[in-house]
Amino acid sequence: MSGELVERVRTALADAGFGPGSGLTAQSDGSAVIVSWHPDRLIRPTITAHADDPDVHAAAEISGIRSALDAALTSVFLAAGLVPLSHPEGFISVTAVRAASPAG
């Protein structure tokens, strides 16, 4: 199931415009898929431009962007029938909805 779930997650991301080059990765982690964002291409120019600033970390802070991305990705996964769980470490764990077993 994990390979199938990874493909479902990647398809949902691509359909929402988060394809290659978005900085998002999706990799299997047991029964879940871990989706994380690697903004290197976005923040590297900022860090370079502020290299002499003693508070370069503040110039590269992207918490607002991370919050907005988290909200957007949560909506994408819910719309695709998947179950996203945001983690404070900055990634989303995505699982599939399990069908209820028939009572018997």
Res 99: pLDDT: 54
Residue 57 CA to residue 46 CA, distance in Å, equals 10
Does 76 have pLDDT greater than 70?
Answer: yes
28-41 mean pLDDT:
89
Q: What is the pLDDT of residues 79-93, one digit of tens each?
A: 999 999 999 888 999
Strands (E), the chain: 24-29, 32-37, 82-86, 91-96
In this predicted model, which residue has the larger pLDDT, 94 or 104? Answer: 94
* pLDDT category of residue 101 using cuts at 50, 70 and 90: low
Question: What secondary structure letter does DSSP report for 90?
Answer: S
- Element at 40 (helix H, strand E): helix 40-49
* Domain locations along the chain: 2-96
Distance CA 4, CA 59 (A): 39
CATH 3.50.50 fits 2-96, yes or no: no
pLDDT value for 51: 75
